[in-house]
Chain A
Amino acid sequence: GAVVSQHPSWVICKSGTSVKIECRSLDFQATTMFWYRQFPKQSLMLMATSNEGSKATYEQGVEKDKFLINHASLTLSTLTVTSAHPEDSSFYICSARDLRGAPTGELFFGEGSRLTVL
């Protein structure tokens, strides 16, 4: 089946630095990718929809200047957490829908990235 790869799987950084997380669709093109955040023992929270070649669409309450999203190609979306602070520590997961069976495509997720801000 289709695969979505996310990197890095975990990262530790100092407060005030920026961290970039990559999400790649390995065997299909994804014009749209999704970024989620998940707190321990809670469900996924959609942060933003990443659109290839255009601006991302952010969910209400998500700071677009804090969480920069770039979707420069049909197989790569990046999430940059800028000026990270300890409260940004979380599990970030991306997903993409394989629309080769459009419009009822299957949704695939990356492995997730655990961010810890010291």
Chain B
Amino acid sequence: KQEVTQIPAALSVPEGENLVLNCSFTDSAIYNLQWFRQDPGKGLTSLLLIQSSQREQTSGRLNASLDKSSGRSTLYIAASQPGDSATYLCAIPTGGFKTIFGAGTRLFVKA
């Protein structure tokens, strides 16, 4: 059974710092891995989708990597800004169309 873990659970950093959020999973046979952000009281916004055959994806200041052999994905945020404050979740689809989510990392970027 796939399990997804995110570390740290919460993170507070000063503006401008580069930071790394971690996601680990127990079953390396994945179709893809997706990173989302959720602002309070809002739905989830898709940030990056990494297919099983890919090693990384980049969008602006965000870079996500995938290492299936070690069961890990990282989300790198460069030059963090207060607007990056949100909860970040990683998610992996299962064979039955469902999705397994990590518990999320709550990020607070201080101005």
Interface of B (DSSP majority class): strand
Asked if A72 CB lies within 8 Å of chain B CBs, one says no
Q: Which of the four size classes fits the interface of chain A?
A: 20 to 34
Report whether B43 and A111 are in contact in the complex, using a CB–CB cutoff of 8 Å: yes
Report whether A103 and B45 are in contact in the complex, using a CB–CB cutoff of 8 Å: no
Report whether B51 and A104 are in contact in the complex, using a CB–CB cutoff of 8 Å: yes
Could you list some 30 contacts between A and B, CB below 8 A?
A: A1-B46, A6-B43, A43-B101, A43-B102, A43-B103, A43-B104, A44-B101, A46-B98, A49-B97, A49-B98, A91-B41, A93-B43, A93-B44, A95-B44, A95-B99, A104-B32, A104-B52, A104-B93, A106-B32, A106-B49, A107-B34, A107-B91, A109-B36, A109-B43, A109-B44, A109-B45, A109-B46, A111-B43, A112-B41, A112-B42
Binding site for A on B (CB under 8 A): 31-32, 34, 36, 41-46, 49, 51-52, 89, 91, 93, 97-99, 101-104
Interface of A (DSSP majority class): strand
A-B pair count, CB < 8 Å, reads 51
Interface residues of A in 22-55 (CB under 8 A from B): 32, 34, 43-44, 46, 49
